[in-house]
Structure 1
Amino acid sequence: MKELSRSANPPFVLSSRMQYLRDNFIHPPFDYEHELLEAIRFGDEAKAMDMLRKINELEAAVLATYPLRSKKNALIASCTLFTRAIIKGGVDPETAFHLSDTLILEIEKIGDVERLVAFEYEMLVQFVSMIRKEKEELTYSHIVNLAIYYIREHIFQELSLQGIADHLGVHPSYLSDRFKRETGMPLTSYINRRKVEESKHLLVYTNQPISEIAFTFKFCSQSYYTQVFRNFTGMTPRQFRLSGAKSIST
C-alpha cells in the first residue's frame, strides 16, 4: 500500500518526502544543474545526457547509510527535478506526476547500484521523450502557443486576458478571438481548466485545506473554486480528494 504524504508545504513541493530530499541533497554546481534542467525543458536529449554525465563524474552526495538507499534517494531527487522541468516546458502536470510516480516505484524495485546508475539515464530519456511529444502535439499558431506557455509558467498568479495580451504585445480582442478559434474554448476557461488540473495533485498528495488551495490558485473564493472544479470534473474538490486517496491506498 502506498502511503499518502500529508504536507502543508507550498504548491511547488511534490510531497514532504520530496522536499526533504531536495533540502538534504548536495547539489552539483548550479550552472550544471541549470543547463541539465533547461535541456530537458527544451527536449535537447544530447545536451541533457552530456550534462548528466558531467554531474555524475562529480563526487556524489551521501543521502543514506547504505549505498543502495543513497543512490535510490539521489534518483528520486533527480526525478523530482526532472518532473518540474517538463511541467515548466509545457507538459500537463497530471501527466508529469504520473510519469514521476511510475519511475519512483521502479527505482524502489531495483536491487543493485549499477542498475540504478543505468536507470538514471533511461529515466532522463523518458522525460525528454515526453516533452518532445508535448511540443509535437501543440500545433497552434505562435501567438496561441505563447499564451499557453505563459499560462503554464504563471499558473499560481493572477491571470487575465488583458494581462496576457499585454505581455504578448497584442490586442485582447485579437488574442481572445484567435485563442477560442484554435483551441475551441475561451482563454479564461482554459486558465480555469489548467488551475483545476494543477490543483488535483495538491488535493490528493497533501493535507492543504481546500480553502488554501483555492487561494493558492487565486480563485476569489472556495465556493467559486468548487463550482469551477465541478464544471470540469463532475465532482467537488472534496469528493476528488477522497476518491484519489482511495485509489492510491489500494
Structure 2
Amino acid sequence: MTDGEETEMRAVSSYWSTRSEDLNRGFVHPPLDYEQELLEAIRMGNESKALEALHKINTLEAATLAGYPLRSKKNSLIASCTLFTRAIIRGGVNPETAFQLSDTIIRDIENTAGLEQLLLFEYEMVLQFIAIMKREKEILHYSHIVNLSIYYIREHICRELTLGRIARHAGVHPSYLSDRFKRETGMALTEFINRRRIEESKSILIHSNQSISDISLMFKLCSQSYYTQLFKKYTGKTPGQYRKERG
C-alpha cells in the first residue's frame, strides 16, 4: 500500500468515526442557509441581520472540533473568521485590509482564556467585520481619483505621506487633488491622514506593549505630545487613557 493510499484510508476511517459519533448523539450541523444568511449580512454590512443570524446558529448545538470545549470553540471561531474574511472581500474590502483584520482577530481568539469570553467575543468579531465593511462602502461614493488616494493612504499609513506623493500615485496635480479631496470628503487631505493614523494606532495600543512614544514614531507623527494631542482631539481621550480602558 502506498503512502497516499494509507493517508486516504486514515481520512476515510476518521470521517466515519466522527460520523458515527454524531449519529449516536443525534447531532446535526446548523442548516447551511443560516450560515449563508450570516455571511451575506456581513457582506452587505447589515449589523442587525448578521447578529440575528448568528443568534439562530448559536441556539443550536455546536459541532465538537476538539477534545475540550475551549479549544473546540476557538477552532470554530477561527473557521468563522476565515469565512467572514472572504465575505468582506467579496463585498469590496481590500484583501490586505481583510487579512490584517483576520490575523488580529485570530490572535485575540488564541489569547482568550475563558469559554464565556469567547462566546461574547464571537458577537464582537462579527461587529468588527461589519465595521470594516461599512467603512469600505463609504468610499464607493467618491471619485476614482479620491478612492485611489484613500487606498494609497491606507496601504502606506506608516510611511511618510505627502500631498505630492499621493497626487503622483493618483496621476493628478497636487493642487487639483487637494481641492477635489476636500470637496468630496469634507476634510483636508492632512486631516484625513491624521484621523486614519489615530484610528490605526488604536489597535496597536490595545494589542501590543509598545510605548506610546514608539507608536507615535511608527505612524510618522513628529512627537509623542503631538500624537497625544491628535488622539485626544479625535477620541476625547489620551492614548494612555484609551489603552487603560480597552486593555
TM range (shorter): 0.5 to 0.7
> In structure 1, what is the equivalent of residue 152 of structure 2?
150
Q: Does structure 2 retain, via aligned residues, the 8 Å contact 1:196–1:229?
A: yes
Q: Matched residues in 1 for 2:177 and 2:118: separation?
A: 47
How far apart are residue 72 of structure 1 and its match? 3.8
- Structure 1 portions without partners, runs of 5+: 1-42, 45-63, 111-118, 246-250
Q: TM-score, normalised by structure 1?
A: 0.53
2:7 match: none
Once residues 80 and 225 of structure 2 are traced to their aligned partners in structure 1, the CA distance between those partners, rounded to angstroms, is 35
- Opposite residue 66 of structure 1, the aligned amino acid is G
Over the aligned positions, Cα root-mean-square deviation in angstroms equals: 4.5
Q: Which has the higher contact order (CA 8 A, sep 6+)?
A: 1
Matched, 1:185 2:202: no
4+ residue segments displaced more than 3 Å: 67-91, 104-110, 129-136
CA distance in 1, matches of 2:240, 2:133: 34
Q: Among residues 209, 212, 216, which one is paired with 2:211 in the alignment?
A: 209
SS in 2 for 1:208: coil
**Is the Cα–Cα contact under 8 Å of residues 75 and 107 in structure 1 kept in the other structure?**
no
Q: Take 1:237 and 1:214, find their aligned partners in 2: how far apart are those partners?
A: 10
Partner of 1:196: 198
Residue of structure 1 in register with 2:172 after alignment: 170
Matches within 5 A, 1:11-22: none
1:224-243 → structure 2 map (5 Å cutoff): 224-243=226-245
Indicate conservation of the 8 Å contact 1:204/1:244, yes or no.
yes
Q: Deviations over 1:40-93 (max 9, x none)?
A: xxx69xxxxxxxxxxxxxxxxxxx9727655544445456666698674568x9
User: Structure 1 vs Structure 2: percent identity of aligned residues?
Assistant: 51
Q: In structure 1, what is the equivalent of residue 8 of structure 2?
A: none
2:67 maps to which residue?
A: 66
CA distance in 1, matches of 2:205, 2:197: 12
Farther-moved stretch of structure 1 (201-210 vs 165-174): 201-210
Figure out how many residues of one structure are paired with residues of the other and give that number.
172
Is residue 205–residue 239 contact of structure 2 (8 Å, CA) maintained in 1?
A: yes
The Cα of 1:185 is off from its aligned counterpart by 0.7
CA distance in 1, matches of 2:221, 2:194: 9
**One of 139, 142, 147 as aligned partner of 1:140:** 142
One-letter amino acid matched to 1:170: V
Q: Is the 8 A contact 2:182 2:188 kept in 1?
A: yes
For 1:178, the aligned partner's letter is: R
> C-alpha separation between the residues in 2 aligned to 1:222 and 1:178?
31
Following the alignment from structure 1 to structure 2, what is the Cα–Cα distance between the partners of residues 140 and 146? 10
What is the one-letter code of the residue matched to 2:142?
A: Y
Following the alignment from structure 1 to structure 2, what is the Cα–Cα distance between the partners of residues 182 and 70? 47
2: distance between equivalents of 1:233 and 1:130?
Answer: 17
> Hey, which of these two has a bigger chunk of helix by percent?
2
* Structure 2 gap segments, 5+ residues each: 1-42, 45-64
Larger radius of gyration: 2
Aligned to 1:32: none
Deviation at 1:161, TM superposition (A): 1.1
Q: How does 1:43-62 map to 2 (within 5 A)?
A: none
CA distance in 2, matches of 1:88, 1:107: 29
Q: Partners in 2 of 1:106 and 1:148 — Cα distance?
A: 38
The amino acid of 1:191's aligned partner reads I
User: C-alpha distance in 1, partners of 2:104/2:66?
Assistant: 28
